[in-house]
Amino acid sequence: MAGDSSIDLRELAALVGGQLSFCPEQIRISGVASVEDAGPDEVTFLGNPKYVSSLQVSKAGAVFVPLDFNQQVPPVLIRVENPSVAFAKAVERFAPKPASFAPGIHPTAVIAEGVELGEGVSIQPHAVLEPGAKVGAHSVIGAHVYLGHGAIVGAECLIRSGVTIAERCIIGDRVILHSGCVVGSDGFGFETVSGKHLKIPQVGIVQIDEDVEIGANTTIDRARFGRTWIGAGTKIDNLVQIAHNVVIGKNCLIVSHVGISGSTRIGDGVTLAGQVGVVGHIQIGDGVVIGAQSGVNKSISKPGLYMGTPAIPAAEYREQVAYIHRLGRLSERVQKLERSGAEAAD
């Protein structure tokens, strides 16, 4: 990915707080790329030891590596505490400037009477803001965004195109909602009466605290009563479903295709990897990590890594998987013993 201008290798190392193994004369870096694709004027990074073999044949001009990296590879080494973070700084240095949105209201936007807009707000084409809606200073409301009656968006938010924030929902400061995200749809609440499914009113709200980022086409249901609540600093991937009255703590990571059923409470610093399913009305404690494609069917309180369906401590899960993989050989041994026993009996 080429940038607008090159940078001397010494300057690049200083930018990321790195240590150069040595510095050949007149090496300049003009972009960033993967280990496999990087050329002589680009920098890459070693974020996972499994890519060392690729790095050994890489054509990159330089590479960010951990401080204790001691192998011989073609690129010039820049030792850093965290190669991924250093690479992110380099990406920021060479990437095109992000799109900016001028303050003001586009003439095609529909702004109801009584809407409150803070200083420097940008309202993009065909956005709809219903009565009582509020937008904090320097926030961007993207094209075709719907902001429902009494909904509140905090300061310095980026609400990308096609987002729906339904009535009375509350969005904190510096929140990013990506395209297609729906906040405040009705919870899936029904009671079966005489063979028919009776809709239960969903009259609560969704509250999203500051510094949360939510991916494209993720849906967060409003509470049946009270609030569905996403804690500060939590990051939620694309295509996640969060049901009514779920509470998610601070600084959690919720990865793509996760589904969390109603009234579940999740603590701080929890990670739910891709395609995790969580039943309703349970609690997941602080610091718990649930591995990909696992199913959580009961409360978990102790921090650590859990895997499988139902989710159990990772060491126990791996042991069970090892047993399963040995079943074929065990079956063969049992059959041989049975045949030997039958022959002896004859």
**Catalytic residue positions?**
244
> Which residue shows structure tokens 């395209």?
179
For residues 171, 176, 182, 186, the Cα torsion angle rounded to the nearest 10 degrees is -30
Contact 153/172 with Cβ under 8 angstroms? no
3-class secondary-structure state, position 324? helix
Number of Cβ within a 10 Å radius of residue 152: 19
| Other beta carbons within 10 Å of 19 | 13
For 11-68, the DSSP string reads: HHHHHHT-EES---TT-EEEEE--TTT--TTEEEE--SGGGHHHHTT---SEEEEETT
Question: Which among 286, 280, 290, 233 has a CA at the least distance from the CA of 260?
Answer: 280
Which positions ≥6 away from 103 have C-beta within 8 Å?
Answer: 120, 121, 122, 138
Q: What angle do CA 165, 156, 171 make, to 5 degrees?
A: 30
From CA 85, how far away is CA 92, in angstroms rounded?
Answer: 11
Taking the C-alpha atoms of residue 326 and residue 75, their distance in angstroms, rounded to an integer, is 43
Pairing status of strand 42-45 against strand 62-66: parallel
What is the dihedral sign for C-alpha 5, 11, 15, 21? positive
Give the Cα separation of 216 and 237 in Å (integer).
Answer: 7
Q: Of the candidates 130, 131, 165, 168, which has an alpha carbon nearest to the alpha carbon of residue 145?
A: 165
What distance in Å separates the CA atoms of residue 274 and residue 88, rounded to the nearest whole number? 23
